[in-house]
Amino acid sequence: MTIREFQKLIEDIYFARDQARGRDGTFVWFVEEVGELAKALARPRDDGGKNLREELADVLAWLSTLASIAGVDLEAAAREKYEKGCPKCHATPCSC
C-alpha cells in the first residue's frame, strides 16, 4: 500500500468524523497517540512488538487524517521534501 492509498483508506473510514472534530481537536488526538507511542517505545516488547506496531500505525493514521483535513497529499509532500535526500545537503545518507 502506498502512502496515498493509506491516506485514502483512512479518509474512507474516518474523514467525516475527523473533519467534524476539526483540525485542532484532531491534532489533540494525534498528540495523544504520539504519547502512547512514546510509552510503547519505552516498555519491553513482551508481545513480540505487536503494541509498538499498533501505536506506529495509529500515529500514521492520525497524521494522515490531519493531512487530509488540511488538504495535503501526504505522499506528495514527503516526496517533495525528501526525494533528493537530505533537504539541506541533498545527500543520502545525510552528510550534514
CATH code where residue 44 lies: 1.10.287.1080
Domain hosting residue 63, numbered range:
3-82
pLDDT value of residue 20: 96
Q: What is the pLDDT of residue 4?
A: 98
Whether residue 91 lies inside any domain: the answer is: no
**pLDDT tens per residue, the chain (96 residues)?**
999 999 999 999 999 999 999 999 999 999 999 999 999 999 888 888 999 999 999 999 999 999 999 999 999 999 999 999 999 999 999 999
Residue 61 lies in a domain: yes
Q: Please tell me the pTM assigned to this model.
A: 0.91
Determine the pLDDT at residue 70: 97
Whether 92 is in a domain gets the answer no
| List of residues 6+ apart from 36 with CB closer than 8 A | 55, 58
Residue 77, domain member (yes or no):
yes
Rg of the chain taking only CA atoms, in angstroms:
16
How many domains are there within the chain?
1
Record the cell numbers describing residue 4, joined without a space.
Answer: 496515498
Could you tell me if residue 47 is inside a domain? yes
Residue 37 belongs to some domain of the structure = yes
- Cα dihedral angle (74, 15, 10, 51), rounded to 10 degrees? 110
